[in-house]
A and B are shown apart, each in its own frame.
Chain A
Amino acid sequence: MDVVLIHVLNSLLYASVLFLIAGGLSLIYGVMRIVNLAHGNLYAFGAFVTAWAVGIVAAGASVPVWLALLPAGALAAAILGAILEPTLLRPFYKRAEEYQLLCTFGLLMILEDVLRFIWGPYPLSASALFESFGSLSVGESIYPTYNFLVIGVGAAAAIFLWAFIYRTKFGVVLRATSQNMRMASALGVNVNRVYVEAFTLGCFMAGLGGAIIVPSQSAVLGMGVDALVLAFIVVVIGGLGSLEGALVGALIVGIVREVGITWFAEIELAVLYLIAALVLLVRPAGLFGRP
């Protein structure tokens, strides 16, 4: 029974981080109709910034200081997003999707090397924070306490985002823009501003995903590209542009990954991609997407 519980916790852990990444990707697509191939790099950027802040800048500090520095990665990713959207992406909205994909692919290559340039080719770790939390006993097994924090942040982000989008004025504007950009614009919505805000929020989520997972792993080059492909699976299963879909997709992928790593490690990734392909075959717009 304890083993099952540990598996469930691990699935939730994966799902939390995946939701943050894929939710941001989906939000950006939902509002701006752009698939940001560099989204994974913003997640990696968040991870690197937090690992740098916690592991190097405040290496000797205490746990509260580290916790206070944890969101640094998310904020840095948000700032980066707020700079990138108006400068690089805005010229592409009126052009064919091919160009948008290519531009963000170029951005992916650039950001990958910017990380290498700033922090060098070696992994960056913030494991002191992870270790300072110790572990809890779950029945007869033990489980790292820090992972509960990650799951908690993931759940809180989902609730916060839901409230933000369905219960605030900004959410109404966001949904209106997402449904019909021209009409929203005609009604006096400043579409450019909404786009910057949505993109920044999406990047913030990706950065937060990187920031909260980095103490239990480390920040390595290439983590963004790997994460992006998993996030793609999540949004394809859940439906591109749907936050509910991102949540359900993240849970499905989290569970399949956890089960896969335990029982069919060789074909774990293949199974995930096949699930995504099957979902697309049956429901082209994903489980929650609008066609």
Chain B
Amino acid sequence: MSVAPPGPRPAVSSARALRMAAPIAVALALVPLVLPPYSSILLAYGLVMAIGALGFNLLLGYTGLLSFGHSAYFGVGAYAVALMVKYLKVTSMELFLVGAIVASIMITALFGVVCVRYTTIFFGILTLALSQVLWSLAFKFFWVTGGTDGLRVPTPSLFGGLVTGAGDKITFMSHAYYYYVLIMFCLCVALMWVIVNSPFGMALQAIRDNETRARFVGVRIWPYRWVAFLVSGVFTGLAGALWVPLNGLTTPDIMHWTFSGEIVFMTVLGGFRSFAGPIVGAVVFNYLKTYAVGYTVYWQLLLGVVLVALVLSLPTGIVGTAGRLLARFQGRS
């Protein structure tokens, strides 16, 4: 058997992680108060994507499975919300989230049964193919999904109707909704932290590092992978549900496999070998893409070059590289 891949993460205790995260959370909470609405809406997009990438990384970083189909779960979350608006006339954000979670559990449970039997390239292609099934359904069944026109989602009411979207939409999105996203983000990060540091999370990492040995010590591979797949998909579905009111519209584009590629991109940009990597990567990618799109029509070229350069020279991503530089700096002083 080959040697386990390098890079056991430096063990960070939960207390220390909390001490590191608290100032960041406070800073994030201050954003709408000091920065213009555009910045906080942009950041809200980034935080939503961070939830999705965090879920994705449970598979890539912790279980060692590269999914090229996470756009499907993001889309399931978004379309669950849009269809609830269309057919059930729901406006409560909490109900949206519940609906999106239920929908993504159903889809990921089904897809997971098929996918987790494979690893490496076959896992990637299979997840890609299955996500394209959903994309083609969203694309073709236009009388249900609106086809390429997509479905509009109006401003929801938050906290069981305590906060409604009446009045200026920009103000609502940049303040009330931003805080809603931030709260969900913090909850998701905390939950994921607990998951990856639980015995279950350890078992996943054991599977990633050496499947044979993991089986040898009694870890049942498929059930663990299946649950990881489920949790991963539900996080991404939740991100989709949070994304859709922000965007006001959902189109089949978010189910296309190229969007899955973007999720992979953000995770690698941040660094998939660390817990914070996908979060940093998603936020940075969001800015990168927004400015690249605003700067040039050839933004894909720009992002493609960044991606190739990244995998060639900085495979540990932003967080990994920063950590290494920091360690070197501390070692010198």
Binding site for B on A (CB under 8 A): 35, 37, 88, 91-92, 95-99, 101-103, 105-114, 116-117, 225, 229, 232-233, 236, 240, 265-270, 273-274, 276-277, 280-281, 284
CA separation between A276 and B130, bound complex, in Å? Answer: 9
Query: How many interface residues does chain B have, given as a range?
Result: 35 or more
Q: How far is the CB of B323 from chain A (nearest CB, A)?
A: 19
CA separation between A117 and B300, bound complex, in Å? Answer: 11
With a 10 A CB-CB cut-off, give which of B122, B129, B140, B303 has the most chain A CB atoms.
B129
B45 within 8 A of A: no
**Do B307 and A114 have beta carbons less than 8 Å apart?**
no
Known: A103-B312, A273-B132. 19 other contacts (CB 8 A): A35-B121, A37-B261, A97-B121, A98-B60, A98-B268, A102-B265, A103-B308, A105-B265, A106-B308, A106-B311, A109-B304, A112-B301, A232-B125, A232-B129, A236-B129, A269-B133, A273-B136, A277-B126, A281-B117
**Do A270 and B136 have beta carbons less than 8 Å apart?**
yes
Assess A269 versus B305: contact at CB under 8 Å? Given A102-B268, A103-B312, A284-B118. no
CA separation between A111 and B303, bound complex, in Å? Answer: 12
Of B122, B132, B264, the residue contacting A105 (CB under 8 A) is: B264
**Do B130 and A277 have beta carbons less than 8 Å apart?**
yes
Q: How far is the CB of B58 from chain A (nearest CB, A)?
A: 15
**Do B307 and A273 have beta carbons less than 8 Å apart?**
no
Grouping DSSP codes into helix (H, G, I), strand (E, B) and loop, the B interface class, with mixed when no group exceeds half, is helix
When distances are taken between beta carbons in the complex, the residues of chain B under 8 Å from A269 are 132-133, 136, 139-140
B247 within 8 A of A: no
**Do B257 and A109 have beta carbons less than 8 Å apart?**
no
B88 within 8 A of A: no
When distances are taken between beta carbons in the complex, the residues of chain B under 8 Å from A98 are 60, 66, 268
Interface residues as binary, B286-328 with A (CB distance below 8 Å gives 1, 0 otherwise): 0000000000011111011111101110010000000000000
**Do A280 and B118 have beta carbons less than 8 Å apart?**
yes
When distances are taken between beta carbons in the complex, the residues of chain A under 8 Å from B261 are 37, 105, 108
When distances are taken between beta carbons in the complex, the residues of chain A under 8 Å from B257 are 229
When distances are taken between beta carbons in the complex, the residues of chain B under 8 Å from A266 are 140-141
When distances are taken between beta carbons in the complex, the residues of chain B under 8 Å from A280 are 114, 118, 122, 126
Contact residues of B between 128 and 144, Cβ < 8 Å to A: 128-130, 132-133, 136-137, 139-141
CA separation between A103 and B304, bound complex, in Å? Answer: 9
CA separation between A267 and B128, bound complex, in Å? Answer: 17
In the complex, residue of chain A having the shortest beta-carbon distance to the beta carbon of B118: A284
Of A88, A114, A233, A270, the residue contacting B308 (CB under 8 A) is: A88
With a 10 A CB-CB cut-off, give which of A96, A106, A114, A117 has the most chain B CB atoms.
A106
Would you mind naming 9 contact pairs between A and B with Cβ atoms under 8 Å apart? A97-B124, A98-B268, A99-B315, A101-B121, A102-B268, A106-B306, A113-B299, A232-B125, A269-B133
Of A102, A117, A240, A273, the residue contacting B129 (CB under 8 A) is: A273
In the complex, residue of chain B having the shortest beta-carbon distance to the beta carbon of A104: B308
Q: How far is the CB of B286 from chain A (nearest CB, A)?
A: 16
**Do A99 and B311 have beta carbons less than 8 Å apart?**
yes
B333 within 8 A of A: no
Q: How far is the CB of B65 from chain A (nearest CB, A)?
A: 10
When distances are taken between beta carbons in the complex, the residues of chain B under 8 Å from A116 are 297-298
When distances are taken between beta carbons in the complex, the residues of chain A under 8 Å from B139 are 269
**Do A109 and B140 have beta carbons less than 8 Å apart?**
no
When distances are taken between beta carbons in the complex, the residues of chain B under 8 Å from A97 are 66, 120-121, 124
**Do A240 and B307 have beta carbons less than 8 Å apart?**
no
Q: How far is the CB of B15 from chain A (nearest CB, A)?
A: 32
When distances are taken between beta carbons in the complex, the residues of chain A under 8 Å from B5 are 96
Q: How far is the CB of A202 from chain B (nearest CB, A)?
A: 16
CA separation between A117 and B305, bound complex, in Å? Answer: 15
**Do B304 and A107 have beta carbons less than 8 Å apart?**
yes
When distances are taken between beta carbons in the complex, the residues of chain B under 8 Å from A112 are 300-301, 304
CA separation between A232 and B121, bound complex, in Å? Answer: 12
**Do B60 and A106 have beta carbons less than 8 Å apart?**
no
Q: How far is the CB of B18 from chain A (nearest CB, A)?
A: 31
**Do A110 and B126 have beta carbons less than 8 Å apart?**
no
CA separation between A51 and B118, bound complex, in Å? Answer: 41
**Do B132 and A102 have beta carbons less than 8 Å apart?**
no
Assess A106 versus B133: contact at CB under 8 Å? Given A99-B315, A265-B140. no
B68 within 8 A of A: yes
CA separation between A8 and B80, bound complex, in Å? Answer: 40
In the complex, residue of chain B having the shortest beta-carbon distance to the beta carbon of A235: B125
**Do B133 and A273 have beta carbons less than 8 Å apart?**
yes
Assess A277 versus B298: contact at CB under 8 Å? Given A98-B66, A101-B124, A266-B141. no
B258 within 8 A of A: yes
**Do A106 and B304 have beta carbons less than 8 Å apart?**
yes
Q: How far is the CB of A121 from chain B (nearest CB, A)?
A: 8
